[in-house]
Every structure is written in structure tokens, then in C-alpha cells.
Structure 1
Amino acid sequence: MYVKILAILDPFAAVPVFITLTEGFDPRRKDEIVRKAFIAMCVMVSVFTLFGIWILNFFGISLASLRVGGGAILLVLAFDVLGEAPRSKKLDPEEIAVMPVATPLLVGPGTMTTIILLVTENNTMEGYVAVLAASLLAVITAALMLRYSSYIVSKLSKSFVRGLGRFMSIIIAAMAFEMIKNGIMEWLSALS
């Protein structure tokens, strides 16, 4: 479960985007962003593990709608990073931490959907505990990668990191379109 959730969180892809979004921020501000993103991610995976199915049902939200909405947010993030002056630099660390870093960059519709499916497959008290533990461990791993992203990047050239960030934003845009397409396909198949 841990590996599956970590793969969906994909902190490896998030590091260059995080570096691009926080370029020019002092280390304390970056640490604050990581800390707040970590707390937000812990809350999100815990809530979705324990109450995800009921939340979606309560609001009448299908997994298809979750994919389309999350895909749209990811698409905006991708264009934001591709632009010369990302809008998120004008936001305070708390806003950047929750959106776009915690969600949808790391804990997005794919993570939420994966957690809900794992809970559905392991619908026992032990299953809930296992999914929650795996989710929290994956979040800890992602937060540590963000926390030490400056060190990772210090071993690489600045132009390489900037190029990698732009490349990853193209990948994120492609993921966003894929999520939107899959959500629309689910809607269409439900209509037929």
C-alpha cells in the first residue's frame, strides 16, 4: 500500500515544481511552507481514509467529477509554473502550502481515489489502520523530500532545475488532461 500511495503522491515530480514555486524564498519561509503542507496532507489523507466515501456520497460527487475538478486545478498549476512569473510567488506561505503544494500537487484526486479504493478493498478496522498508516508514511516521505529539496537541487545546476521544473509542468499538464479525459469518459459511459 505504501508504495502505491507514494507513487501516486509522486514527490519526485513535485520537487522541481516546489523549487520553482519557492524560488527566491528564504530557507525559513520554505521550511514553513513544507511544515504547513505536511500538516495539510496529513489531515487530507486521514479524512479521506476515514470518511472519503461518505464525503463524496454526501455531496453527490462522483469519482469522475473528482478527477475532472482536480485535473482542472492541476492544469492551472502547470500553466502557472510555465509562465515567467508564477502567480503563487505573490501568495503567502500558508496559501502556497495548502494550494498548490499539498493539493493538488501531492494529495490530488489520484491520491484521494487510490485511498478510497484501498479502503473499499480492505473494509475492516485493520484495513483502515493499514491504509491510514501507509498514507501517513507516504506523506512523511514526500514532506522530507520537499524539506531537503534545496540540498538535492544544490547538487544540480540552477538552469537544470529550472528546465526540469518546466518539463515537469508539461508532464503535470498532460496528467491533468488525462484526469479530465478519464473523468469525462466515465461520465459518458455512465450516460450510455
Structure 2
Amino acid sequence: MADTLWVYLQGFLTLFIIFDPIGNVPLFHAFTSSFEAQKKIKILNDSVKVAFIILAVFAVIGTYILDFFNISMNDFKIAGGVLLFIMSIEGLLGKEEGRWMNREDVAIVPLATPLMAGPGSIYTVMYLMQPPNGPLVAFFAIITNVILQWALLRSSNKLMKVLGRAGSTIISRVMAFILSAIAIGMIRSGLVGAYIGG
């Protein structure tokens, strides 16, 4: 029972760190600062719906895409680990946001993708679909993270008052550092698997 709970928790935390929901709060606030409350809610709802659909689709058919292109899971672990490591470095250095300020289409780009359902998140849900995790763990991670992201962004005004931009930035940088460690682990796992498998 404890092992099962840990698998679910680990799946949730892995996607949570990549989602960086707290780090996305100031971005969402900046992107939508000129919109009225009703417009902000519509943007938020649209972004989480699109992010969920993207992640769910790749969770289900992602392995078929790999098979079609003759890419092994070990290859994908290595590539995904490198990608997540690059994302972690970018997270440590900060995110570019100015060009997206107050645009009408921010619900899809960049909120839904790449901030929520970006390459790192897509790789992670495909990774979570594999043993010892599986579909239940993957979809648990997707659903809980999407709901949590919605709740945090829904409260972005209040959170910005509590955390401030500096507090949110600090949390985001710490999560980026943790993500870099996860990325190294994925790369190592892929290299070991490729070596053993020949």
C-alpha cells in the first residue's frame, strides 16, 4: 500500500515540478493584467482544458508515435532528460514573458502550451505511462496537476499579494533546480537501459 501511494505521489510531484504552477502565477498575472475578471476566467478555463487534452492524447498515443518512428523508450528517456535539463536551466535563468503581455490568444499559447503542456510535460506523461507507473498513475498526475494549476491561477491576484514577485521567483528557481536533478536521473536511466539492452 505504501509503495503504491509513493508511486502515485512521485508521479504527481514529477509533473508538478515541470508544470511549475507557482512560477506560472506571476506569468498568468502579467499576461492578463489588462483584462476584466470574466475574461481572465475564460482564458484560464480554456488554457487548462487545452493543456489537459494535449497531455491526455500524448499519454494514450505517445508510445505509438515512438513505435512509428522506431524510437525506443530508452532513447526517449535520454532525449527527454536532456530536454528537461535544458528547461531547468532556463527556469533557473528566468522566463521570457514580455512579448506575450495582454494578448488575446494567451490561453492557447503560451499558457496551455508550452507553459503547461509543453515538451517536458508531454515527455513526463508518456514516461509515467510506462512500468512501474502506468495509465492510472499518469492520469492521476495529469488530472491533479491541471486542477491544482487552475486553482492557483484562479487565485493569482491573491497569491501575488502574499508571495510577491520575488517570493514566486524564488520558489520557481528552487523547483527548477529539483527538475535538473530529475532530468539527470532520467538520462542515467536511459543510458543504463540502452547499455544493458545493447
Question: Fold-level match, TM-score > 0.5?
Answer: yes
1:182: how far off? 1.9
5 Å-filtered alignment, 1:34-183, equals 35-49=46-60, 51-83=61-93, 86-87=95-96, 89-90=98-99, 93=106, 94-97=108-111, 98-105=113-120, 107-117=121-131, 134=140, 137-148=143-154, 150=156, 151-183=158-190
1:33: how far off? 6.4
SS of 1:41 mapped into structure 2: helix
Aligned structure 1 segments of 4 or more residues deviating by more than 6 angstroms = 130-133
Check the 8 A contact 2:17/2:175 in 1, yes or no: no
Q: Residues 89 and 70 from structure 1, CA distance in 2 versus in 1: closer, same or farther, beyond 3 angstroms? A: farther
Query: What TM-score, normalized by structure 1, do the two folds share?
Result: 0.69
Using the TM superposition, name which of 70-79 and 147-156 deviates more.
147-156
Whole-angstrom CA distance in 2 between matches of 1:13 and 1:44: 12
Q: Calculate the aligned-residue CA RMSD, in Å.
A: 3.6
Whole-angstrom CA distance in 2 between matches of 1:82 and 1:47: 27
One-letter amino acid of the structure 2 residue matched with residue 53 of structure 1: T
Percent of matched pairs sharing the same residue: 18
Which residue is equivalent to 2:191?
184
Check the 8 A contact 1:15/1:146 in 2, yes or no: yes
Q: Residues 60 and 76 from structure 1, CA distance in 2 versus in 1: closer, same or farther, beyond 3 angstroms? A: same
List per-residue Cα deviations over 1:6-36 (Å, max 9, x = no partner).
3442269612332355563224597636733
Q: Which runs of 5+ in 1 are unaligned?
A: 122-127
Q: Residues 181 and 157 from structure 1, CA distance in 2 versus in 1: closer, same or farther, beyond 3 angstroms? A: same
SS of 1:87 mapped into structure 2: coil
Q: When the two structures are aligned, how many residues end up with a matched partner?
A: 180
Whole-angstrom CA distance in 1 between matches of 2:168 and 2:22: 6
One-letter amino acid of the structure 2 residue matched with residue 185 of structure 1: V
One-letter amino acid of the structure 2 residue matched with residue 167 of structure 1: V
1:149: how far off? 5.4
One-letter amino acid of the structure 1 residue matched with residue 51 of structure 2: A
List per-residue Cα deviations over 1:115-134 (Å, max 9, x = no partner).
24479x6xxxxxx7x67864
